Chain A
Amino acid sequence: MSIEVREIVRRFGATAALEGVSLHVARGEFVALLGPSGSGKTTLLRILAGLEGSDVGSVRIEGEDMTGVPARERRIGVVFQHYALFRHMTVLDNVAFGLRVRKRRPSAAEIARRVRELLALVQIPELERRYPEQISGGQRQRVALARALAIEPRLLLLDEPFGALDALVRKDVRRWVRGLHDRLGISTILVTHDQEEAMEMADRVAVMERGRIVQCDTAEALLREPATPFVAGFLGEATRLDCHVRGGVAHFDPLPLPPLRVTLPDGPAQAFLRPGDIAVHAGPGPCTVRALRDAAEERARLVVEFGGVLLDATMAGGQPVQRGASCRMALRGGILFGADGRRADAEPVVRVLAG
């Protein structure tokens, strides 16, 4: 079902949690709300679910205004951050809950059949007699998902659902949930503060900052064309550096970095340098390797110290380096924001190595 959020404002006392948020989710689309804590993403989710009211604005599901419709009548499935399973009920009873509280309640046999189907769908049919305290975190999450799916939701909301899982399980579950979405085709909104999770799972990512959606686009577009310095800094592990533009060239002084050519008016600017923008070459030079990642990969990632600043960089090839070794580096480009907020892509003036 398509979801239309228009100009939602929500204040808690004097502080505004949401300041005019609009969002469109197409039928069957998977959208992630990504932002730091306190950016209002969970508040937006709760307003969608009907657990919280909005001061201004409207939510429409398939054109139908949801204002004043209580949560229980919205048919929106929610997977809560800590799953919120009913701990006095078995897995089976948890999943059956949404069917049993219906006004026109299906027969017991029908409910049992549907619950078994759902448990098979989330691949935990053997757990139906267990209690939530007797199963693992990943299994609880599957139960929460099956419980939310039992009401045949028009929209599925996932509130930081992977936060309580360990890194290895999280990766698997993430792919599995996205696969499930592709099979069922239920419009889904995921709330997360993990950019990797958002970009891997969602069709589009809405980046939130202080109660606003600052940009909503595909992961690739967000990385290539960030709308604001906040987006540029929040996604893609970029290093933010202050610089100064003079005559179409950005200078990083006092840092001894090579200048970048950029079409911005003269004045102060912010540069965002992605790891791929900084190429490190082994050999004597002014930089020091502080940390190494993916050292066995073809293009190892590393952290280098240069002029007192730590930069996320990429190995440009050549000899492998070790922690503490000295090295040289070159800038391949970057994204700059002028004082007026204008964005421009930068490129190296000359392909020279620093130092």
Chain B
Amino acid sequence: MSATALLGRRSRVAPVPGLGLTLGITLAWVGLIVVIPLAALAIKPWELGVAGVAQSLAEPRVLSALAVSFGAALLATLVNLPLGLLLAWAIVRLDFPGRRILDSVIDLPFSLPTAVAGIALTALFAPNGWLGAPLMAAFGWQVAYTQAGIAVALIFVGLPFIVRTVEPVLRDLGRDAEEAAATLGATRPQTLGRVVLPMLAPALLTGAGLAFARAVGEYGSVIFIAGNVPMVTEIAPLLIVIRLEQFDYAGAAAVGLAMLVLSFAILLILNLLQRRLRRGRR
């Protein structure tokens, strides 16, 4: 066979073996599991008409629920960022008794049924609970049945996402870069601020995105500790359930669509930010 014939044949062969098959399976799966349900969600509310959707969403109770959900999720993520970084640091860099136990305890919020976590946290932070009572006595703080309680529950479920995304990157980083910075005359804070944190930033952002997404959609652990007072501690997912129970399917879908659009916008921004960081530009 001549060289040109060989080349001609090769150019028709896909660069990845089985590309057609794998692409087909991937697209079918994504369509079935992700796109079709989301499309259904996006279509359903318009049964009410554009004005109906706007009216349904403009209800003060809906706006308040969305604000509570996204506000608490954002707060929890911001609290979890430094906390998760510290925990990841401790697991990777420090050698202390019980490190392995800590390592496995961190994953518990993943595996625990969220309702169990919610009930446990509620019992703990209730005005007569182990933590709730002293907090009440010492500072006059009430956690359970307030917005603070929602944030506590979301911190609990979001923490492992940040620890687990930062940990492997930190482990992979080694100490080389830090030692190089030290020999070049950098103080410890300078090394952390100019070398370590920027190198971890993409992982921190990924973890924050995951934790935030999880927190926005969290239902089980929150409804026990929140108290669910409309306009105060009612979260958007609960409002959806309430509307479903009232057979207001289109209204429930409208709230769902609003959450979807908001979450997507936030995750998109995080992703773009992360892409910029990955290029290494500050």
Contact = CB atoms under 8 A, between A and B. Distances in A.
Interface of A: 49-51, 70-78, 80, 82, 84-90, 97-98, 100-102, 131, 147-148, 150-151
A151 B185 contact: yes
27 contacts: A49-B179, A49-B183, A51-B179, A70-B182, A71-B179, A72-B183, A78-B179, A78-B180, A80-B176, A80-B180, A82-B176, A84-B180, A86-B181, A86-B199, A87-B199, A87-B280, A88-B198, A88-B201, A88-B282, A89-B280, A90-B280, A97-B181, A100-B194, A101-B181, A131-B279, A131-B280, A151-B185
A88 B187 CA distance: 19
A72 B187 contact: yes
A77 B183 contact: yes
Given A88-B198, A101-B190, A51 B182 contact: yes
B184 interface: yes
Contacts of B265: none
Given A84-B176, A84-B177, A88-B199, A101 B279 contact: no
Nearest to B177: A84
Interface string B182-210: 11111100100011001101000000000
A97 B176 CA distance: 15
A76 B183 contact: yes
Given A72-B185, A97-B186, A86 B195 contact: yes
Contacts, number: 76
Interface of B: 176-177, 179-187, 190, 194-195, 198-199, 201, 277, 279-280, 282
Given A50-B182, A84-B177, A150-B184, 11 more contacts: A49-B179, A77-B183, A78-B180, A87-B199, A88-B198, A88-B280, A101-B181, A101-B187, A101-B190, A148-B183, A148-B184
Nearest to A101: B186
Nearest to B173: A87
A345 to B, nearest CB: 45
A117 B74 CA distance: 47
Query: What are the nearest 6 A-B pairs in CB distance?
Result: A84-B176, A98-B184, A84-B180, A88-B280, A101-B186, A71-B182
